[in-house]
Amino acid sequence: MPRRTATLLTSTLLLIALLCVGVLIPVPYSEMSPGPTVNTLGDNDGQPVLQISGHKTYPTSGNLNMTTVRVTGSDYTMNLVEAVAGWLSDDDVVVPHSTLYPDNQTAQQANQEDAEEFSQSQDSAKAAALKALHIPVGSQVVVGAVVKGDPAEGKLHAGDVIKAVDGTAVTQPGDVAKLVTKHKPGQDVVFTVIPAKNAGTSGAATRKVAVRTAKASDNDRAIVGIQAQTAHTYPFPINIQLANVGGPSAGMMFSLGIIDKLTPTDLTGGKFVAGTGTIDDNGNVGPIGGIPLKIIAAHDAGATYFLTPKGNCAEASQNPPSGIRLVEVSTLNDSLGALTDIREGKLSALPSCTKG
């Protein structure tokens, strides 16, 4: 066998051996990539994303797309070859597994946390939208958060409406703690709740949930491990139907979609606008994770404008795909103003993201 042929054969066999070894070597990493993007003004899986009844709605056009990031699951084991491929890809990001799933978080725990954040973001999105339209918003007591490892974990969930504790109606978040601490540690306390998924449904049924109290770490009082807070009630039903999506980052886009449907002005003027950002009850827009991947997802879907939280602008501007304009926003009013400029063709007035 000629020396050159032998060398090539040896090199090929060595490469195959290395690839085989690489496939078998697990590495502690996870992968993030551009995820699905959904038009909040349209349908998803055959039903409208935004479902509003009991109030006049108006036709819409164009797109107000929320964006997502696809991630490998907490129980997925990446091998060395996949990690190297991810590092070399322009559209994927490889990060330490603990970045996405801290404290060895299970898939169920991660999904539950994402679902609870998503539920809270929907509530804030509705409140911010209605306040922007000067439509009155009421309030009710809900589970704001559940402390990991405490008795309420897995029994009560963020967004559950608390109607009563041990049969006594509650009207303020402070009522919940007062009624729980009447118990001794180890005793059961009974919550009457409307599950978070039904919280916006008129006449939703309640259910009773018994939780055994525990002793607080700093004194002898009884606790169950929840934080009660005030959530909103609305003068007409607004339901957001979007499965398999979690986290708070779609809040701003949901608010814009609600406003578009409730006002005669066509916010986009037929343009394809995408975006991301958390939102609070007062319409303040906050930064999110995975911004470069969300911009790629929006660009690939056809968006030409991307509403970008101010806190993400520096990162977003590093290497965005061509053909999509990054518009800096800090509030819901900023986003509405940007949509006006886009709709009217006043592009020179748009506040663009710049590199930090």
Q: How far is CA 259 from the centre of its chain?
A: 19
Q: Is 286 helix (H, G, I), strand (E, B) or coil?
A: strand
pLDDT at res. 181: 95
| Closest residue by Cα to residue 156 from 227, 56, 253 | 227
Work out whether the CA dihedral 62, 200, 159, 114 comes out positive or negative. negative
pLDDT for 246:
77
C-alpha to C-alpha distance for 58 and 268, rounded to whole angstroms: 13
Token digits for 286? 């906050």
pLDDT score for 2: 61
* Residue 117: predicted pLDDT: 80
Between CA 256 and CA 266 the distance in angstroms is 11
Helices (H) and strands (E) in the chain, counts: 9, 22
Question: How high is the pLDDT of residue 111?
Answer: 67
CA dist 3 and 14 (Å) reads: 16
- β-pairing, 63-71 with 272-275? parallel
Q: Tell me, what's the pLDDT at 22?
A: 46
Cβ–Cβ under 8 Å, residues 66 and 100: no
Res 329: pLDDT: 97
- Each residue's pLDDT tens digit in the chain (356 positions)? 565 565 555 556 555 554 454 445 665 666 768 889 999 999 998 899 999 999 999 999 999 999 998 776 666 676 666 656 655 666 676 667 666 667 766 666 766 777 778 888 898 999 999 999 999 998 899 998 899 899 999 999 998 999 999 999 999 999 999 999 999 999 999 999 999 988 867 788 999 999 999 999 888 899 999 999 988 889 999 999 887 777 888 999 999 999 999 999 999 999 999 999 999 999 999 999 899 999 999 999 999 999 999 999 999 999 899 999 999 999 999 999 999 999 999 999 899 997 75
Intra-chain end-to-end CA distance of the chain, in Å:
60
